[in-house]
Amino acid sequence: MVDYTEMWEKLNLDLPAHEHLLNVLGKFYGDIYLSQQKRLKGMEYLDFVISEIHGLRIKELIEAQKAGRKVFGTFCVFVPEELIWAADGICVGLCAGAEIGKGEAEKVLPRTICPLIKSFMGFKLARLCPFTEACDLVIGETTCDGKKKAFEIFSEFKPTYVMEIPQMKRDTDYQLWRDEVWRLKEKIEETTGNKITAEKLGQAIKMINDRRRALQRLNKLRRAIPTPISGRDALLINQISFYDDPVRFTEKVNALCDELEEKVKRKEGVVPKGTTRLLLSGCPMAVPNWKLPYVVESSGAVIVDEESCIGERNTRDLIDENGATLEEMIDNIVSRCMKIDCACFTPNTERIEHIITLAKEYEVEGVIHYTLQFCDPYLVEAYKVEKALEKTGIPILRIETDYSMEDIEQLKTRVEAFVEMVK
């Protein structure tokens, strides 16, 4: 094994705490992922990425920086990463899926704040995320009040740029978002020292669209009965898409989909035929948030799709590649972003309609609506989702939890009862 201690030391990580974190996550990953049966051979690459996520990938970022490139960290699918790649920058998702640095985070944040916000603040203040430390600039967004105010504090510890997200979808909101995207373009050019041209932006749009196409292909194959891949593995693939090099990742996912297609032709499933099929809907699940999928798939069910930002909401829409000028391309980026049906929008009937559509397309027997504690947009919207699903006769279970393991037995009891009911 390669020793990355010197690299982590230069990034100013808390080395003893970081070593403990890697040991805990390694065991956690082994129990949840490596213990699965009938896994695809293509998942070996994803296992390797996770094993090196704080090692080889960070080394790649640092080597790119030595060559003059800039690294940008993001937390949200609203940030148009195509602009970053077009300026020869590198875009990575940042850690926000574990109860890390809770004590440090609660020194500057309310105790009753969304676990995701507390997590990214905790990772930074406890000096445990090499991605955060390697970033030249973090790009935040105002998808909720908690994030908006937390970024004010986060900016004291790391250079941070915040985009204003519109809350409705009127013509004025489109114009607001268009202006924000143009302002981000200027900030990226200022940070990288590189001009974003129509040619480079067109190439970046195609590159990220190709990644979305690969994930769309994966999602379509998941519709097969019996289910050819576990929900845990599919979630992992989507999670890693935010960290890995996009060209390499697209190639590996397409190779995995080739393997999946053969499996579907042979009518081979990862679970027995008749296993309860569920749709997971709601808040995003950042690495290493695998608790609920593990509970669901060890309770006699299989997750066949995710209606979330780490899932369909991020991949279902492509950017129109027919733009000829920089202005047309940025308008196409704006249009694609405004199709995102995040719970920050009001009204948000599109999301509810989309959940129902997915439930029918994937032939699910129930929906689990997952919400992080204190995530007001999704917690409030869960009411309308529940009412809409009840009208269509689709069973729904509302789950509200955090990143701790304290409620895992309670969750298992509730999920097992729900699975038994929908059978």
What angle (nearest 5°) sits at the alpha carbon of residue 406, between those of residues 309 and 399?
A: 40
**Domains, in order of start, for the chain:** 5-193 (3.40.50.11890), 202-318+326-331+341-422 (3.40.50.11900)
- Contact status, residue 260 vs residue 230, Cβ threshold 8 Å: no
Residue 9 is predicted with a pLDDT of: 98
What does residue 300 show for φ and ψ, rounded to 5 degrees? Answer: 90, 20
**Do the bridges between strand 137-141 and strand 276-282 make them parallel or antiparallel, or are there none, so unpaired?**
unpaired
Determine if the pTM surpasses 0.85.
Answer: yes
HSE, side-chain direction, 13 A CA sphere, residue 350: 14
What does residue 398 show for φ and ψ, rounded to 5 degrees? Answer: -95, 125
- Contact status, residue 82 vs residue 60, Cβ threshold 8 Å: no
Residue 329 is predicted with a pLDDT of: 98
Report the distance separating Cα 422 and Cα 365, nearest Å.
6
Q: Which helix (H) or strand (E) holds 355?
A: helix 349-361
Report the distance separating Cα 2 and Cα 35, nearest Å.
25
- Could you tell me which residues come within 8 angstroms of residue 74 by beta carbon, excluding any fewer than 6 positions away? 81, 91, 92, 93, 94, 138, 139
SS3 assignment, position 405: coil
What angle (nearest 5°) sits at the alpha carbon of residue 92, between those of residues 89 and 95?
A: 150
In 10 A of CB 247, how many CB atoms?
Answer: 11
SS3 assignment, position 279: strand
Residue 322 is predicted with a pLDDT of: 96
- Contact status, residue 162 vs residue 151, Cβ threshold 8 Å: yes
Residue 95 is predicted with a pLDDT of: 82
Residue 1 is predicted with a pLDDT of: 72
Output the tens digit of pLDDT for each of the chain's 423 residues. Answer: 799 999 999 999 999 999 999 999 999 999 999 999 889 999 999 999 999 999 999 999 999 999 999 999 999 999 999 999 999 999 999 989 999 999 999 999 999 999 999 999 999 999 999 999 999 999 999 999 999 999 999 999 999 999 999 999 999 999 999 999 999 999 999 999 999 999 999 999 999 999 999 999 999 999 999 999 999 999 999 999 999 999 999 999 999 999 999 999 999 999 998 999 999 999 999 999 999 999 999 999 999 999 999 999 999 999 999 999 999 999 999 999 999 999 999 999 999 999 999 999 999 999 999 999 999 999 999 999 999 999 999 999 999 999 999 999 999 999 999 999 998
Residue 340 is predicted with a pLDDT of: 97
CA 194 to chain centre: 28
- Contact status, residue 367 vs residue 355, Cβ threshold 8 Å: yes
- Could you tell me which residues come within 8 angstroms of residue 68 by beta carbon, excluding any fewer than 6 positions away? none
- Could you tell me which residues come within 8 angstroms of residue 386 by beta carbon, excluding any fewer than 6 positions away? 369, 396, 398
Report the distance separating Cα 62 and Cα 68, nearest Å.
10
Distances (CA, A) of 152 to 112, 167, 191, 353: 18, 20, 20, 35
Residue 168 is predicted with a pLDDT of: 97
What does residue 91 show for φ and ψ, rounded to 5 degrees? Answer: -110, 130
In 10 A of CB 221, how many CB atoms?
Answer: 19
Helix intervals (H) in 52-170: 56-66, 81-86, 102-105, 115-125, 130-134, 145-154
